[in-house]
């Protein structure tokens, strides 16, 4: 196995930037990119990126398995996407209405996504999930939205995972089932009588700090069936998984089609764009809701999304990510077996989650990841990770050299 030439040196500039940041930003950072919940050793600030590599503010380089927490699907600074963005920006970006790219992109979404008869665009995944819920309520004239316990569907008051700053009324019409549990879904559906507006469900169970679970076919069928029976909307939250599982939608290979889907993250390879797609039954309801944002019609991000999709189609992206994801998973499995380390690798191989047995506080996971980080590989101890099409076999080999060190460190802790 090839040895990894990256050795992390220091985080001196990062430390001084964090000190500056603490003065002018609450806690120095907010949201999912704060390193406050990560073990010591993670850099907060980054300086450069290219393909599968990220360089932190101190010049330490990493093979990146977070991909900006998902958006980077063709690799950092993909030349084709960046060129499309800049070319569009030189013509027109934000104006008093959209550019032609809006229609091109909506047509492309409708073309590649079998469940989609129409599309609308916005900026955040939360914009998209929120609009789906509004459209479902607008169509059905009902109120209740069923979501899986523990699932993340955005950071609005109505489902942000932390309750600070929210009121009970923000979520008074949410009801909860357990992912992959048909009985709990049926129970929750009957508990709300005639009032179910929608079932909002992630492409697969990708809660933080937990093993991932693909949807069972029985569960996906039950979601569709309950939605049909109750005349509610099946809303697929494809924000995190979209375009990594199936370019036609993450449930397409199950043969289950949502009424509405929320997209964001990977659709513009890191440029800010989100989308709602829906079928014709929900078209009129979609017209009635008022959702908007200052930058939602920006043409440059739409050009980036068009270029991203065209390239994903052209290079058989999902097969590439699956192949390398399998190589990584299989390599780690063998390493762990040899070392007697009990590791659980769950979810789709291109969106790996790596957790350790008997590790409720992530002590082992943290050791694994910080050791890998020292050897130039950026993994996450409890959030699912992401491969991109820029990862190469050589990247995976170098990564496996780092995970070998990481698993040895875990073995020594056990």
Q: Binding to a copy of itself (CB under 8 A): which residues in 239-258? A: 239
Q: Residues 12 to 31: which contact a copy of itself by CB under 8 A? A: 17, 20-21, 23-27, 29-31
Q: How far is the CB of 4 from a copy of itself (least distance, A)?
A: 19
State how beta strands 174-177 and 144-148 pair. parallel
Q: What are phi and psi of 39, to 5 degrees?
A: -70, 160
Contact map string, positions 38 to 57, toward a copy of itself, x by CB under 8 A: -----xxxxxxx----x--x
Q: Residues 334 to 393: which contact a copy of itself by CB under 8 A? A: 378
Residue 174 in the binding site for a copy of itself (CB under 8 A): no
Task: Indicate which single residue of 187, 293, 334, 344 sits in contact with a copy of itself (rule: CB under 8 A).
Answer: 293
Stretch that binds a copy of itself, among 158-166, 252-260, 322-330, 365-373 (CB under 8 A): 158-166
Say which residues have a Cβ less than 8 Å from residue 199's Cβ, sequence separation at least 6: 145, 146, 147, 185, 189, 223, 226, 227, 232, 233, 234, 235
> Is 305 buried (19+), middle (13-18) or exposed (0-12) by CB count in 10 A?
buried
Residue 304 in the binding site for a copy of itself (CB under 8 A): no
Residue 80 in the binding site for a copy of itself (CB under 8 A): no
Residue 292 in the binding site for a copy of itself (CB under 8 A): yes
Instruction: Spell out the long-range contacts of 309-315 with Cβ–Cβ below 8 A and sequence spacing 24 or more.
Output: 309/108, 309/112, 309/243, 309/247, 309/267, 310/108, 311/74, 311/78, 311/80, 311/81, 312/73, 312/74, 312/243, 312/247, 312/389, 313/112, 313/247, 315/389
Tell how far CA 91 is from the center of its chain.
Answer: 31
Task: Indicate which single residue of 83, 86, 87, 218 sits in contact with a copy of itself (rule: CB under 8 A).
Answer: 86
Task: Indicate which single residue of 58, 78, 127, 207 sits in contact with a copy of itself (rule: CB under 8 A).
Answer: 127
Angle, vertex CA 267, rays to CA 261 and CA 270, nearest 5: 135
Task: Indicate which single residue of 11, 74, 84, 102 sits in contact with a copy of itself (rule: CB under 8 A).
Answer: 102
Residue 2 in the binding site for a copy of itself (CB under 8 A): no
Q: Residue 179 and residue 313: Cα distance in Å, rounded?
A: 30
Between residues 295 and 393, which has the closer beta carbon with respect to a copy of itself?
295
Rg of the chain taking only CA atoms, in angstroms: 21
Query: Binders of a copy of itself: how many residues, by CB under 8 A?
Result: 112
Angle, vertex CA 118, rays to CA 114 and CA 122, nearest 5: 115
Between residues 289 and 312, which has the closer beta carbon with respect to a copy of itself?
289
Stretch that binds a copy of itself, among 118-126, 181-189, 334-342, 357-365 (CB under 8 A): 118-126
Q: How far is the CB of 335 from a copy of itself (least distance, A)?
A: 24
Task: Indicate which single residue of 155, 175, 210, 349 sits in contact with a copy of itself (rule: CB under 8 A).
Answer: 155
Handedness of CA 329, 76, 29, 10 (dihedral sign): positive
Between residues 12 and 86, which has the closer beta carbon with respect to a copy of itself?
86
Stretch that binds a copy of itself, among 60-68, 216-224, 251-259, 308-316 (CB under 8 A): 60-68
Say which residues have a Cβ less than 8 Å from residue 162's Cβ, sequence separation at least 6: none
Q: How far is the CB of 269 from a copy of itself (least distance, A)?
A: 9
Task: Indicate which single residue of 2, 7, 40, 162 sits in contact with a copy of itself (rule: CB under 8 A).
Answer: 162
Stretch that binds a copy of itself, among 165-173, 333-341, 368-376, 403-411 (CB under 8 A): 165-173
Residue 172 in the binding site for a copy of itself (CB under 8 A): yes
DSSP 391: -
Say which residues have a Cβ less than 8 Å from residue 330's Cβ, sequence separation at least 6: none
Could you tell me which residues are beta bridge partners of residue 276?
120, 262
Residue 137 in the binding site for a copy of itself (CB under 8 A): yes
Q: Residue 58 and residue 185: Cα distance in Å, rounded?
A: 49
| Residue position matching structure tokens 């050299």 | 401
Stretch that binds a copy of itself, among 2-10, 242-250, 294-302, 361-369 (CB under 8 A): 294-302
Q: How far is the CB of 262 from a copy of itself (least distance, A)?
A: 12
Q: Residue 158 and residue 130: Cα distance in Å, rounded?
A: 9
Between residues 313 and 337, which has the closer beta carbon with respect to a copy of itself?
313
Q: Residue 306 and residue 107: Cα distance in Å, rounded?
A: 10
Task: Indicate which single residue of 4, 52, 60, 124 sits in contact with a copy of itself (rule: CB under 8 A).
Answer: 124
């Amino acid at each position: 196995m090839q040895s990894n030439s990256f050795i992390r040196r220091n985080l001196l500039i990062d430390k001084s930037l964090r000190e500056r940041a603490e003065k002018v930003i609450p806690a120095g950072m907010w949201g999912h990119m704060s390193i406050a919940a990560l073990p010591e050793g993670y850099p907060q600030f980054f300086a450069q990126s290219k393909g599968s590599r990220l360089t932190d503010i101190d010049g330490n380089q990493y093979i990146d398995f977070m991909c900006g927490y998902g958006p980077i699907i063709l690799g950092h600074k993909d030349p084709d996407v960046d060129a499309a963005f800049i070319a569009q920006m030189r013509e027109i970006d934000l104006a008093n209405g959209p550019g032609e790219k809006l229609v091109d992109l909506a047509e492309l979404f409708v073309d590649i996504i079998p469940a989609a008869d129409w599309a609308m665009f916005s900026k955040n995944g939360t914009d998209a999930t929120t609009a789906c819920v509004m459209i479902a309520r607008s169509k059905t004239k009902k109120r209740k939205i069923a979501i899986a316990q523990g699932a993340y569907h955005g950071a609005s008051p109505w489902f942000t995972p932390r309750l600070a700053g929210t009121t009970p009324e923000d979520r008074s019409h949410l009801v909860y089932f357990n992912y992959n549990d048909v009985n709990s879904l049926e129970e929750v559906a009957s508990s709300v009588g005639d009032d179910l507006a929608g079932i909002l469900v992630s492409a697969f169970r990708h809660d933080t700090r937990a093993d991932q679970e693909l949807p069972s076919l029985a569960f996906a069928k039950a979601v569709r069936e309950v939605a049909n029976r109750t005349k509610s909307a099946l809303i697929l939250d494809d924000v995190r998984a979209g375009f990594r599982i199936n370019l036609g939608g993450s449930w397409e290979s199950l043969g289950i089609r949502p009424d509405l889907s929320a997209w964001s993250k990977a659709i513009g390879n890191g440029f800010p764009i989100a989308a709602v797609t829906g079928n014709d039954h929900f078209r009129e309801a979609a017209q009635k809701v008022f959702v908007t944002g200052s930058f939602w019609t920006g043409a440059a991000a739409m050009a980036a999304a068009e270029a991203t999709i065209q390239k994903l189609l052209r290079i058989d992206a999902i097969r590439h990510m699956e192949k390398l994801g399998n190589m990584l998973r299989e390599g780690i499995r063998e390493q762990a077996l040899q070392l007697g380390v009990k590791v659980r690798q769950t979810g789709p191989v291109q969106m790996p989650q790596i957790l350790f047995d008997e590790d409720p506080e992530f002590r082992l996971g943290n050791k694994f990841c910080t050791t890998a980080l020292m050897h130039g590989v950026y993994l996450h101890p409890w959030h699912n990770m992401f491969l991109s099409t820029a990862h190469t076999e050589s990247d995976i080999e170098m990564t496996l050299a780092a995970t070998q060190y990481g698993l040895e460190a875990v073995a020594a802790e056990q």
